[in-house]
Amino acid sequence: MNSTKMRIFSIFTVLSVLGLTGCGSIESAAQDDCTSIGWQIGSKGYQDCYKARLYERKLDYSLPPGDKPSPSLL
């Protein structure tokens, strides 16, 4: 494999890993929130807490209504 193809492949691999890591962070943070206050995984209270915290975290990281992402200069 030549140098250019290897470089493109390695950049793609790194970006894929970072993307997949970011996807799980909101879910794991919501899970940590609920287990840290004493809910047992699988209980009804835990499920309610998890759904609420997941919803709140998704709102925290979403764009405001009507806001469009602007292109990055980097």
Domain spans, the chain: 24-61
In eight-state DSSP terms, residue 59 is H
Q: What pLDDT, on a 0 to 100 scale, did the predictor assign at position 18?
A: 53
Residue-level pLDDT at 21: 55
The pair of structure tokens assigned to 40 is 């047992």
- Cα–Cα distance list, 62 to 11, 20, 25, 48, 53 (Å): 26, 18, 14, 21, 14
Higher per-residue pLDDT: 70 or 38: 38
Q: What pLDDT does residue 19 have?
A: 56
Q: Give mean pLDDT, residues 27-55.
A: 92
